[in-house]
């Protein structure tokens, strides 16, 4: 597993944060605006602990998740169906189901107008509009996910 990156947050003194982060990437737990909390949709979900502006990266599927090739994916998920697995190609899978490693997989499925975030081509979970404190972050799983 690659080394965890430095948080891209800023300290109260205006200095770059020196904490390393995988679980809350791209920020550390101190600077992240998200947390795992109780979901009204499915047990646990990714929740805004502060207001989050449109276009902000709140999680990263390539950091802290388990990367698998197709054979490994099918060994773990024999029917080819899994929750919280992002696949940018037919032979690369990022399993975000272990929330102790990465909170990226905590985002539950949204439909239609409830979807307020998206996964970009680089695996980053980005807000599509402003998300208020306490709201759940919901993503459209689309074709990049194997559900």
Tens-level pLDDT at each residue, the chain (147 residues):
458 999 999 999 999 999 999 999 999 999 999 999 999 888 899 999 999 999 999 999 999 999 999 999 999 999 888 888 888 888 899 999 999 999 999 999 888 888 999 999 899 999 999 999 999 999 976 655 543
At 147 the pLDDT is 36
To the question of pTM greater than 0.85 for the whole model, the response is yes
At 146 the pLDDT is 46
For residues 123, 129, 130, 135, the Cα torsion angle rounded to the nearest 10 degrees is -70
Q: Domain spanning 37-139: which superfamily?
A: SET domain (2.170.270.10)
């Amino acid at each position: 597993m690659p080394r965890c990156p430095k948080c891209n947050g800023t300290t109260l003194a205006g200095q770059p944060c020196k904490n390393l982060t995988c679980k809350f990437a791209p920020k550390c737990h101190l600077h992240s605006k998200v947390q795992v909390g109780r979901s009204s949709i499915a047990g646990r979900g990714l929740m805004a602990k502060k207001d989050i502006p449109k276009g902000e990266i709140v999680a990263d599927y390539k950091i802290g998740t388990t990367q698998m090739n197709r054979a490994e994916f099918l060994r773990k998920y024999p029917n080819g169906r899994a929750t919280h697995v992002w696949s940018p190609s037919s032979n690369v899978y990022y399993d975000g189901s272990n929330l102790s490693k990465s909170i990226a997989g905590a985002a539950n499925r949204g439909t239609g107008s409830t979807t307020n975030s998206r996964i970009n081509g680089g695996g980053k979970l980005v807000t599509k509009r402003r998300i208020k404190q306490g709201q759940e972050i919901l993503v459209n799983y689309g074709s990049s996910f194997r559900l």
